[in-house]
Structures are given as structure tokens and as C-alpha cells.
Amino acid sequence: MELGISTFGEVSPDGKAGGAVNAHKRVQQLLEEVKLADDVGLDVFAFGEHHRPDFVISAPEIFMAAAASVTKNIRLSSSVTVLSSADPVRTFQNFATVDLISGGRAEILAGRGSFIESFPLFGYDLNDYDELFSEKLDMLMQINKTEKITWKGEFRAPIKDQGIYPRPLQPEIPIWLGVGGTPASAKRAGRLNLPMTIAILGSAPKHFVSFVELYREAAAAAGHDVSKLQLGISSQFYIAESSQRAVNEFYPSYEALMNRVGRERGWSPMSKEQFEYLRSDGPLIVGDAQMAIDKILEQHRLFKNTRFLAQLVTGHTPHSGVLKAIELFGTKVAPVVRKELGVV
């Protein structure tokens, strides 16, 4: 099983048109984080696209290209690319360029997006939410398979026998689908024989077992080899030398993030009791290295997933603590998980 990190690049908004000191500092920190993840032997680092003042990553491909220059082995991915509001041609060109820069380490994790800011920003109608994604995914998959395409859809101008360049170093750029918990999303990923990553954030992991079964059943019904399917699980994550230290360093950032998003979505305020439930019985991995090992192995028992992405929530957490969490993940957690699962 591959072990990696996902980040949205949380930042304290600068709140002005230029002189973005906080954003500059956060970008440098992100490059330090991905370099450390590579140095300690993690497999994947993924950058999530958002168009909000509290996240600094709006162009994952740019971050991936910068990360390629300071890393050697780690695979570089988006997490996610909001494909519904992107152009598939330009998306492919950007990721193919990253693939060439990185020596064949680029991946696309495409999704519809849990935040909607990109739709009005780029002139799309939210009423077309799913149709946009389906059409653009179809086009992206065709571009990925062949140098020249002829394609026609509803939301984008057609293309007739045109080449899309540059081409990647890999035979094809891996395209994963990032999903939340919609059954139709699982069925689509299985039907298309695409790797799928599930973000498990607020419910007990066991509740997603039937969702994964839908994915595999849809793949089998479409005639695909289920044994070759790749499945990723992503959960929010922070570890330290002791569980109490992890809680003390992580909770203020987590509470602020969940309440900030919750106010927009009508959620009840986050409580310490709810947080502790998510740590004990839910998907939240916040504690020491052994706690992380136990939870990652338990998820693998449930899902037989081939990848785990630790979603870092940083916010007010000291950067030194974030770096320590990455170091512990690579040096204390990953070797034990790999040994238990027989990963060479």
C-alpha cells in the first residue's frame, strides 16, 4: 500500500491586493513539507485545489512543478483538481508538463469539488454540476489515451483531429477520481475502471464499506478485472511524540477549520466531545505513531485499499509540529504498516 500526504495549503488570509506575506511564507513551508515527505520515503504528496482566501493552492500543477524541483522519488498529485470548472485540454497540458519536469511522477486526482467557488469564478452554472464533470472527464480520458482527438460535447467547443501537446513521459497520466460518499460517484469510477480515492472525514469508516462494494461491483459488471482496481482512503491526520501533544497542537486548527466551514454550511459548532468521538470511533487520526498505525491498518482491513493519504490540517499548528508529523509518518508509521502488509 502506498502512503502519502494531502494538503489544501491552509493560510491566514493577507486580505489585500498585493504584498501577500502570509501566502509567500505558506508556499515556502509547503515546499519544505513535500521535500521532507520525499526524504523520509513517503510515496505520494497531493495538493488540493481551492479558490478561497483561507487556502493558498488554487493551481495544484504549479505547486507540483515546484515540488518536482526539490524532490526525487515521491509521486506528485492534485487532491483534487476541480475538473467541472476546468478545461480538459489545458488540464492535460499542465499535468503533462509536470510529468516531464518530474521524470514521470505526475498524477491527476479529479473531482467535482466539495466547495463551489470555482463555478461562478470561471462562469459555470451549478445546475450543470454533474453533467459538466461527466463531459470533461470523458474528454480528459480521451486526450490521455491518444495524441490526436476528435471530440464534441455540450459545454465546450468541439475539436476535430487536433493534437494535444506536450505528451507525458509516462504512457498515460494516472487519473484518479476523488469522491465523498455519493453512490453514483462510486459506480462511475468502477464503470470507467478508474482508481478511486474516498475522503472519509465525518463518519465512521465502516459506513463506507458498502460504498466500496458498489465501486467493485460496478467495475465487475462493466467487465473489468476487480483485482487490479486501485483504491485510496484519505483521512485528516496529525501525529506527535505523544497523543496528548498531538491533541494540544492539532485541536485549535481543526476546531477553527470545521467551524469556519460549518458556518457556511449550517453545521453545529465543533465540540471537544465530538472531536474525541472522531478520534476514537471516527476517521480522525490524531495521536501518536502507534495510534496512526492501528487506524491505517484497520482501514486496510475494511477496504483493502492500495493507498492511504494523510490529509494535513495545519492552520494555527506550529510549522515545526507539522514537519514532525511528516517525519514520524515516514520513519515510525510507514515502516510498520508496510511490514504488516508485506509491502517491500
Going by pLDDT thresholds of 50, 70 and 90, the confidence category of residue 212 is: very high
C-alpha span between 151 and 158 (Å, rounded): 6
The pLDDT of residue 34 is 98
Please determine, for residue 253, whether its predicted confidence score (pLDDT) is greater than 80: yes
* For residues 273-299, average pLDDT: 96
pLDDT tens-place string over residues 18-62: 999 999 999 999 999 999 999 999 999 999 999 999 999 999 999
3-state helix, strand, coil in the chain (%, to 5): 50, 15, 35
DSSP tag of 288: -
Going by pLDDT thresholds of 50, 70 and 90, the confidence category of residue 268 is: confident
C-alpha span between 179 and 37 (Å, rounded): 24
The pLDDT of residue 267 is 87
The pLDDT of residue 114 is 79
* % of the chain at pLDDT higher than 90: 93
Q: DSSP letter string over 140-190?
A: HHHHHH-SEEEE--SSS--EEEEE-SSPPSSSS--EEEEE-S-HHHHHHHH
Going by pLDDT thresholds of 50, 70 and 90, the confidence category of residue 273 is: very high
User: Grid coordinates 518536482 are at which residue?
Assistant: 68
Please determine, for residue 344, whether its predicted confidence score (pLDDT) is greater than 90: no
Going by pLDDT thresholds of 50, 70 and 90, the confidence category of residue 113 is: confident
The pLDDT of residue 194 is 98
C-alpha span between 64 and 69 (Å, rounded): 9
The pLDDT of residue 141 is 98
Please determine, for residue 303, whether its predicted confidence score (pLDDT) is greater than 80: yes
The pLDDT of residue 200 is 96
C-alpha span between 151 and 242 (Å, rounded): 55
pTM for this model (two decimals) = 0.97
The pLDDT of residue 318 is 94
DSSP tag of 17: S
- The alpha carbon torsion through 251, 253, 259, 265 (nearest 10 deg) reads -120
Tell me which H or E stretch contains 98. helix 88-102
pLDDT tens-place string over residues 132-167: 999 999 999 999 999 999 999 999 999 999 999 999
The pLDDT of residue 202 is 85
pLDDT tens-place string over residues 168-210: 999 999 999 999 989 999 999 999 999 999 999 988 999 999 9
Q: Which three cell numbers stand for residue 118?
A: 470555482
